Structure 1
Amino acid sequence: MMLDLDGIDRTDDRPPYRQIAAILRQQIKSGRLAAGEKLPSESALIEHFGVARMTVRQAVQELRGEGLVIPEHGKGVFVRSAPPVRRLASDRFARRHRDAGKSAFLAETEAAGQKPQVDRIRVTNEPAGADIARRLRLTEGDRIVVRSRRYLADGRPVEIATSFIPESIAKGTPIAATDTGPGGIYGRIEDAGHTLARFVEEVSARMPTPDERKALDLGAGTPVITLTRTAFDAEGTAVEVCDTVKAASAFVLEYDFPAR
Structure 2
Amino acid sequence: MVDLGLIDRADDRPPYRQIAAALRRLIAAGRLPPGEKLPSETELIAHYGVARMTVRRALQELRGEGLVVAEHGKGVFVRSSPPVRRLASDRFARAHRKQGKAAFLAEAEVSGHKAAVDQISVTTERASAEVAERLGLGGDGRVVMRSRRYLANGVPVETAVSYVPESIAAGTAIASLDTGPGGIYARIEEQGHQLGRFTEEVTARMPTPEERKALEIGAGVPVITLVRTAFDLDDVPVEVCETVKVSHAFVLEYDFPAR
- TM (norm. structure 1) is 0.86
Backbone CA RMSD of aligned residues = 2.7
Structure 1's 12 and 79: CA in aligned 2 closer, same or farther, altered over 3 A? Answer: farther
Deviation at 1:167, TM superposition (A): 0.4
Q: More deviation in 79-88 or 108-117?
A: 79-88
Kindly indicate whether the alpha-carbon contact (under 8 Å) linking 1:16 and 1:55 is maintained by their aligned counterparts in 2: no
- Structure 2 runs not aligned, ≥5 long: none
Counterpart for residue 180 of structure 1: 179
- Kindly provide the CA deviation profile for residues 136-163 of structure 1, in whole angstroms up to 9, marking residues without a partner as x: 0111231110011111122222111110
State the SS of the aligned residue for 1:91. coil
Counterpart for residue 191 of structure 1: 190
CA distance in 1, matches of 2:14, 2:121: 48
CA distance in 2, matches of 1:114, 1:70: 17
Counterpart for residue 86 of structure 2: 88
Deviation at 1:256, TM superposition (A): 0.5
Structure 1's 192 and 222: CA in aligned 2 closer, same or farther, altered over 3 A? Answer: same
Please state if 1:157 is matched with 2:156: yes
Amino acid at match of 2:148: R
State the SS of the aligned residue for 1:93. coil
Counterpart for residue 212 of structure 2: 213
Q: Please list, as runs of the form range in 1=range in 2, the aligned pairs for 1:1-260 lying within 5 A after superposition.
A: 3-8=1-6, 10=8, 15=13, 17=15, 18-29=17-28, 30-32=30-32, 35=35, 37-41=37-41, 44-50=43-49, 56=55, 59-60=58-59, 62-69=61-68, 78-79=76-77, 81=79, 83-89=81-87, 90-260=89-259
- Kindly provide the CA deviation profile for residues 116-175 of structure 1, in whole angstroms up to 9, marking residues without a partner as x: 211111111001110100110111231110011111122222111110000000111111
Structure 1's 35 and 214: CA in aligned 2 closer, same or farther, altered over 3 A? Answer: farther
- Kindly provide the CA deviation profile for residues 214-242 of structure 1, in whole angstroms up to 9, marking residues without a partner as x: 22222341111111000001111100000
Amino acid at match of 1:181: G
CA distance in 2, matches of 1:8, 1:199: 52
Structure 1's 46 and 172: CA in aligned 2 closer, same or farther, altered over 3 A? Answer: closer
State the SS of the aligned residue for 2:32. coil
- Structure 1 runs not aligned, ≥5 long: none
- TM (norm. structure 2) is 0.86
Number of residue pairs the alignment of both structures matches: 256
Deviation at 1:83, TM superposition (A): 3.5
